[in-house]
């Protein structure tokens, strides 16, 4: 085996194979101990890179893998940035995004100067710290099924603004190598050409092309990859990073009516290249830089991890949101962006940054991404612990989506008004029972308000929501949300005070069902088991023609409900 391996020259294929195999093993071990996978991928890179095992020695290969990973990752991120959702909180996102970049960038610049860096190095460091990671936030919000929550929408809106500013800064910094006025003008013209072509394809070419390509799933997939590669090559040809081109391609395709289909096709690629990206990120860490610049590393990392959430709380207070929403947004922004890696590479190649300073930016990015992953994964628990100290960041007239009179009494409260909840609501509307719906998806709340259904924006784990439920004292509580943590909170804080209340809960797994019953739940829904029981019931009572008839009936109903945004 050793002779065989020694006969193979170092190649990109061998490097990628090694990265994926080792990353799979370590990620699996992390999953066994219920840890997020991003730190596992970064740890893989540290192990394989020059710092420990040195199995991937070619620095050019590492740089190439990192650049390819960033480009394809940003392409998928661009696809997932739904501008239509951004419009709902556009003004808030613009104000918050600009404020965050200006303040963090300026203070980061001053801190860097105070730590002994040159002005140009401090400028790069300040800019690097100013932007948060769209990749991390979208991945973790997707994992937590919180993309469509209020804090998810606003955070993504802020990140869209930050990404636009980052692209403009990168285009500007790419011109700094040109010392003459003519060189600056030439670079500016190239930037305008890229933006013009982006607009042309977004507005006119892609809508027509993809209408034709959509007839074949295979061609749709290949056309999407081709669009990414075309913009990447175009950006590179104009003297910019391929990642900028890939990101613009993603945004351009997101404006088509086929964005959802394209995203579903790209998800396996996203997972593959996110693995390559984070592993290559880990490979860029050198312990010599860590030891030589430890004070700078700690100070600048703490500035991002503490300063960004604190600034978000202050900014969001001016926009009149609840402290819980502000806290979650702050947690989501507590890391350095993948754009900082492009920035550090640009600074190194142009001679503006030393190798040590460029490495420092990479290490700060890695460190804040890892810590932020744990902060975001546990932000509900962190809020539960520290929320009582955050009242200073909430105005007395802070916004709630709907206000329900204290004198109104409800027989039933439904937690979650989408999908499962939507059908429960549909039934309850035909009864004489008074009911209230609580949901954290603004679209669901808007739909229910249009249907004249009493509803409020809120999360089951929010102390204020729990207090409202206890004051209302309904005879029945139905939770369609499968979070075991939230359901245990409901049982602990509501069932204990209202023992006569009947509580329906939803669970993901059989162990969760057993635990909820032990804690006092009256009925626990496990969707997969209910679906199996329903199918068994059909098989028992219906013949083949009747099954086909009912199938067509359900299909028709599903399409009707889809038009109403119920499912």
Count other Cβ atoms within 10 Å, centred on residue 486. 17
**What is the C-alpha separation between 171 and 188, in angstroms, rounded?**
8
Say if residue 331 is in the same domain as residue 238: yes
- Mean per-residue pLDDT, 88-108: 87
Say if residue 361 is in the same domain as residue 453: no
Residues 6+ apart with CB under 8 A from 529: none
Judge whether 422 lies within some domain.
yes
Residue 5 has pLDDT above 90, yes or no: no
Judge whether 94 lies within some domain.
yes
Say if residue 142 is in the same domain as residue 273: yes
Residue 221 has pLDDT above 60, yes or no: yes
Q: pTM for the full model?
A: 0.75
Q: Would you state the pLDDT for residue 301?
A: 96
Say if residue 446 is in the same domain as residue 311: no
**Are 170 and 242 contacting, i.e. CB atoms less than 8 angstroms apart?**
no
Q: H-helix or E-strand containing 350? A: helix 339-350
Say if residue 84 is in the same domain as residue 43: yes
- Mean per-residue pLDDT, 437-446: 82
Residues 6+ apart with CB under 8 A from 451: 429
Judge whether 538 lies within some domain.
no
**What is the C-alpha separation between 338 and 315, in angstroms, rounded?**
24
**Are 309 and 334 contacting, i.e. CB atoms less than 8 angstroms apart?**
yes
Judge whether 62 lies within some domain.
yes
Quick: pLDDT tens for 121-147. 999 999 999 999 988 898 888 777 787
Q: What percentage of residues in the chain have a pLDDT greater than 90?
A: 31
One-character DSSP codes across 371-437? HHHHHHHTHHHHHHHHGGG-GGGS-TT---S----TT---SEEEE--STHHHHHHHHHTTSS--EEE
Q: Is the dihedral of CA 233, 235, 239, 244 positive or negative?
A: negative
Q: Would you state the pLDDT for residue 1?
A: 41
Quick: pLDDT tens for 134-185. 888 988 887 777 877 778 888 988 998 898 888 888 877 766 665 556 667 7
**How many alpha carbons lie under 13 Å from residue 565 in its C-beta half-sphere?**
11
Say if residue 141 is in the same domain as residue 51: yes
Rg from Cα positions in the chain: 26
Q: Would you state the pLDDT for residue 281?
A: 83
Among 390, 423, 457, residue at a domain's last position: 390
Domain of 385, CATH number, reads: 1.20.1530.20
- Mean per-residue pLDDT, 368-374: 93
Say if residue 257 is in the same domain as residue 355: yes
Judge whether 468 lies within some domain.
yes
Say if residue 248 is in the same domain as residue 126: yes
Residue 309 has pLDDT above 60, yes or no: yes
Confidence of residue 86 (pLDDT cuts 50, 70, 90): low
One-character DSSP codes across 78-132? HHH--HHHHHHTHHHHHHHHHHHHHHHHHHHHHHHHHTT--HHHHHHHHHHHH--
Residue 59 has pLDDT above 70, yes or no: no
**What is the C-alpha separation between 362 and 128, in angstroms, rounded?**
10
Judge whether 31 lies within some domain.
yes
Judge whether 559 lies within some domain.
no
**What is the C-alpha separation between 24 and 26, in angstroms, rounded?**
6
Residue identified by tokens 């209408």 is 211
Q: Would you state the pLDDT for residue 397?
A: 59
Say if residue 274 is in the same domain as residue 374: yes
Read off the tokens for 381: 């628990």
Of the given ranges (84-98, 109-123, 360-374, 412-426), which has the lowest mean pLDDT? 84-98
Domain of 500, CATH number, reads: 3.40.50.720
- Mean per-residue pLDDT, 444-463: 81
Higher pLDDT, 247 or 349: 247
Say if residue 375 is in the same domain as residue 420: no
Say if residue 430 is in the same domain as residue 314: no
- Mean per-residue pLDDT, 465-473: 84
Among 360, 390, 420, residue at a domain's last position: 390
Residue 88 has pLDDT above 80, yes or no: no
- Mean per-residue pLDDT, 74-102: 79
- Mean per-residue pLDDT, 7-29: 82
Domain that holds residue 463: 412-525
Q: What percentage of residues in the chain have a pLDDT greater than 70?
A: 91
**Are 125 and 108 contacting, i.e. CB atoms less than 8 angstroms apart?**
yes
Say if residue 386 is in the same domain as residue 437: no
Number of structural domains in the chain: 2
- Number of helices (H) and strands (E) in the chain: give both, helices first: 28, 6
Judge whether 492 lies within some domain.
yes
Task: Count Cβ atoms within 10 A of the Cβ of residue 219 and give its class: 0-12 exposed, 13-18 middle, 19 or more buried.
Answer: middle
**Are 270 and 78 contacting, i.e. CB atoms less than 8 angstroms apart?**
no
């Amino acid at each position: 085996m050793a002779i065989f391996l020694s006969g193979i020259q170092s190649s990109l294929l061998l490097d990628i194979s090694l990265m994926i195999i080792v990353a799979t093993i370590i990620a699996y071990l992390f999953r066994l101990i219920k840890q997020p996978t991003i730190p596992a991928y970064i740890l893989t890179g540290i192990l394989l890179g020059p710092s420990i095992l040195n199995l991937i020695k070619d620095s050019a290969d590492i740089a190439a893998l990192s650049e390819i990973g960033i480009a394809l990752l940003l392409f998928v991120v661009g696809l997932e940035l739904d501008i239509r959702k951004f419009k709902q909180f556009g003004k808030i996102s613009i104000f918050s995004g600009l404020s965050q970049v200006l303040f963090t960038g300026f203070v980061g610049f001053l801190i860097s100067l105070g730590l002994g860096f040159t002005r140009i190095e401090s400028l790069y460091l300040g800019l690097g710290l100013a932007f948060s990671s769209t990749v991390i936030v979208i991945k973790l919000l997707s994992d937590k099924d919180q993309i469509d929550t209020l804090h998810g929408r606003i955070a993504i809106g802020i990140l869209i603004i930050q990404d636009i500013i980052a692209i403009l800064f990168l285009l500007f910094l790419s011109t700094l190598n040109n010392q003459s006025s003519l060189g600056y003008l030439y670079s500016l013209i190239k930037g305008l050409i890229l933006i013009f072509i982006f607009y042309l394809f977004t507005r006119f070419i892609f809508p027509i092309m993809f209408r034709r390509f959509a007839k074949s799933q295979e061609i749709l997939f290949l056309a999407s990859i081709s669009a990414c590669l075309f913009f990447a090559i175009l950006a590179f040809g104009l003297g910019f990073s391929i990642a900028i081109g890939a990101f613009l391609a993603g945004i351009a395709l997101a404006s088509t009516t086929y964005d959802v289909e394209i995203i579903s096709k790209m998800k396996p690629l996203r997972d593959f290249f996110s693995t390559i990206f984070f592993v290559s990120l880990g490979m860029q860490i050198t312990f010599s830089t860590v030891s030589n610049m430890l004070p700078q590393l700690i100070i600048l990392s703490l500035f991002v991890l503490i300063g960004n959430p604190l600034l978000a709380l202050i900014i969001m207070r001016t926009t009149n949101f609840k402290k819980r929403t502000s806290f979650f947004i702050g947690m989501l922004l507590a890391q350095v962006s993948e754009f900082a890696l492009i920035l550090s590479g640009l600074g190194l190649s142009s001679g503006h940054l030393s190798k040590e300073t460029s490495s420092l930016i990479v290490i700060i990015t890695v460190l804040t991404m890892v810590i932020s992953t744990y902060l975001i994964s546990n932000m509900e628990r962190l809020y539960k612990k520290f929320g009582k100290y955050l009242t200073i960041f909430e105005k007395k007239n802070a916004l709630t989506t709907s206000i329900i009179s204290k004198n109104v009494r409800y027989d039933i409260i439904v937690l979650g008004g989408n999908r499962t909840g939507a059908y429960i609501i549909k039934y309850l509307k035909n009864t004489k029972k008074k009911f209230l719906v609580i949901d954290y998806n603004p679209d669901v709340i808007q739909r229910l308000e249009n249907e004249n259904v009493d509803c409020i924006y809120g999360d089951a784990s929010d102390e204020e929501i729990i207090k409202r439920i206890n004051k209302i004292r309904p005879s029945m509580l139905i939770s369609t949300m499968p979070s075991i943590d939230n359901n245990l909170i409901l049982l602990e804080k509501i069932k204990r005070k209202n023992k006569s209340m009947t509580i329906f809960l939803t669970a993901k797994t059989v162990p969760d069902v057993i635990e909820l019953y032990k804690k006092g739940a009256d009925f626990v829904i496990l969707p997969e088991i209910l679906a199996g029981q329903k199918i068994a019931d059909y098989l028992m009572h219906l013949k083949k023609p009747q099954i086909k008839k009912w199938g067509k009936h359900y299909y028709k109903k599903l399409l009707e409900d889809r038009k109403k945004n119920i499912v």
